[in-house]
Amino acid sequence: MTAAPDTRPRRRDAAKTRRLLLEAARDRFARDGYNTTTLRDIADEAGVNVALIARYFESKEGLFEACLTAAVDELRHEAGDVALDRVPQIIAAQVATVGPHGPTGQLMLLLRSSGDERADEIRRGVLRTSAERLAAAAGWRPGDDETLLRAQMVLAASLGIVLLRVSGALEPLMSAGEEDLSGPLGELVGALLGR
């Protein structure tokens, strides 16, 4: 005798569904870009109904913003709130994981222009906040444009290293490990922010 099929409605795991959507969206946005990615692509990859995106994120923009926020939170979690003298090691550790097969999804989201003005505005805001956090580690206060500029230059150099490592075109940068990157990054951060 076989058991009757279970006809009770399945219980949704909202946290799991939200996480699956964020992971699928981050991968799609990083790989295909904002404009090319559809909500159906994301829902299909996550294995959920497309209507759940509106329930959890309201819109494609809301999902993109949640992806950027999650990416920065992930990077921040990896780095924590660190003193300025630890910043080079944190950057080196994050950059060392990037290679010719592509940067981590969170870095690609920060680098890739979406072609959509609102999405790019969100991305610029996240980059601005990241630069302000770095500047704050060097004693920056609002109105101190010189320290903020210097922090933005450190951020730009770090993202430039990511791009060059992804291209796979330059040795020894491409194969440099965390220890190899820490020293020069320490000099860069010290020169720009260690005044």
Report pLDDT digits (tens) over 23-68.
Answer: 999 888 878 888 889 999 999 999 999 999 999 999 998 998 888 8
* Alpha-carbon distances of 167 from 27, 93, 122, 188, rounded to whole Å: 19, 19, 26, 22
Q: Are 35 and 115 in contact (CB under 8 A)?
A: yes
As its CATH architecture, domain 14-193 has Orthogonal Bundle (1.10)
- Strand runs (DSSP E) across 51-192, as ranges? none
Tell me the pTM. 0.72
Give residue limits of the domains in the chain.
14-193
Average confidence score pLDDT of the chain: 83
pLDDT tens sequence across 155-193: 999 888 888 888 787 899 989 999 999 999 999 999 999
